[in-house]
């Protein structure tokens, strides 16, 4: 990651948390979903700072991954299961990073393999917020950053064949400093799917339709298209500002 990119992520994350507190959309006693990755982590850090300075209190968090629950543990943010009676399966707001965002605010997420819990949280939040550096805005999804699809281990081969029938080129995600495939926080595998870009520059498919079609494949736990709870977006610009969309 370049120094600039890292600075942009922190700028977007800090600006979003401060703005949401100022607007009263992050408020004392609320239930908040916290995302995964190198842009979500500064948001968690900033939230902890604003709890420490007394701006908000009594926050109940739900973490999208082990990474996030460990960060909350270190920062003193109380974490609950979505199923806990303190949460009741519904959140006031969720904030997370993104791998790609289209002009229609359709997303690809799951670069950190946390897409399953990220989607449970994003789709069960009254307000969904995305924080991003300037590299994440793209014209179309599916031909640049590979779409992560989480599959149960028994469906590794059959689901890959079904994804290939939808025009994708699925690749089993391999671990880093771990022999063999990535095992998700839920005990599953990730198939990363790229579609060849059509020669005429058109989109290869409609992401909203593809989100449903992929989830109909037996053994697919979830896929990384997020098309159904349009987010508020805080995206850092190269000129030092943060644009809100």
Alpha carbon of residue 128 to chain centroid = 10
Minimum CB distance to ligand 5RP smaller for 110 or for 170 = 110
Rounded CA Rg of the chain: 18
Q: What is the DSSP letter of 109?
A: -
Total residues belonging to the chain: 245
Of 86-94, 109-117, 156-164, 181-189: span binding ligand 5RP (CB under 6 A): 109-117
CB 57 within 8 A of CB 51: yes
Query: Closest distance between ligand 5RP and the C-beta of residue 145, in Å?
Result: 9
Nearer to ligand 5RP, 29 or 113 (CB): 113
> 39 or 69: whose CB is closer to ligand 5RP?
39
Which is the catalytic residue, given 118, 150, 211, 222? Answer: 118
Binding residues among 6-35 for ligand 5RP as defined by CB under 6 A: 35
**With 0-12 CB in 10 A as exposed, 13-18 as middle and 19+ as buried, what is 7?**
middle
Work out whether 111 is an interface residue with ligand 5RP (CB under 6 A). yes
Is 211 designated active site? no
Report d(CA 53, CA 91) in Å as an integer.
23
Torsion sign across C-alpha atoms 40, 45, 46, 47:
positive
Q: From the list 38, 102, 143, 215, which residue makes contact with ligand 5RP (rule: CB under 6 A)? A: 38
Among 118, 150, 185, 222, binds ligand 5RP (CB under 6 A): 118
Measuring CA to CA, which residue among 112, 105, 102 is closest to residue 192? 112
Is 33 annotated as belonging to a binding site? no
Catalytic positions, please?
Answer: 118
Query: Which residues form the interface with ligand 5RP (CB under 6 A)?
Result: 35-40, 96-99, 109-115, 118
């Amino acid at each position: 990651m370049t120094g600039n990119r890292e600075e942009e992520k922190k700028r977007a994350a800090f600006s979003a948390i401060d703005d949401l507190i100022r607007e009263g959309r992050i408020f004392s006693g609320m239930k908040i979903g916290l995302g995964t990755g190198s842009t979500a982590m500064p948001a968690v850090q900033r939230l902890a700072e604003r709890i420490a300075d007394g701006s908000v209190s009594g926050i109940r968090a739900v973490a999208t991954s082990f990474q996030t629950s460990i960060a909350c543990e270190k920062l003193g943010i109380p974490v609950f299961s979505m199923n806990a009676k303190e949460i009741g399966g519904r959140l006031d707001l969720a904030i997370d990073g993104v791998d790609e965002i289209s002009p229609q605010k359709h997303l690809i997420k799951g670069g950190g393999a946390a897409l399953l819990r990220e989607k449970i949280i994003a789709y069960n939040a009254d307000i969904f917020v995305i924080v991003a550096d300037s590299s994440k805005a793209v014209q179309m999804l599916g031909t640049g950053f590979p779409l992560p699809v989480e599959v149960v281990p028994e469906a590794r081969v059959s689901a890959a064949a079904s994804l290939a029938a939808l025009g994708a080129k699925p690749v089993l995600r391999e671990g880093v400093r771990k022999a063999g495939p990535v095992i998700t926080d839920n005990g599953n595998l990730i198939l990363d799917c790229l579609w060849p870009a059509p020669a005429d520059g058109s989109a290869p498919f409609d992401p909203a339709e593809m989100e449903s079609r992929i989830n109909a494949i037996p053994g697919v736990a979830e896929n990384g298209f997020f098309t159904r709870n349009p987010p508020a977006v805080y995206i850092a610009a190269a000129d030092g500002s943060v644009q809100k969309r």
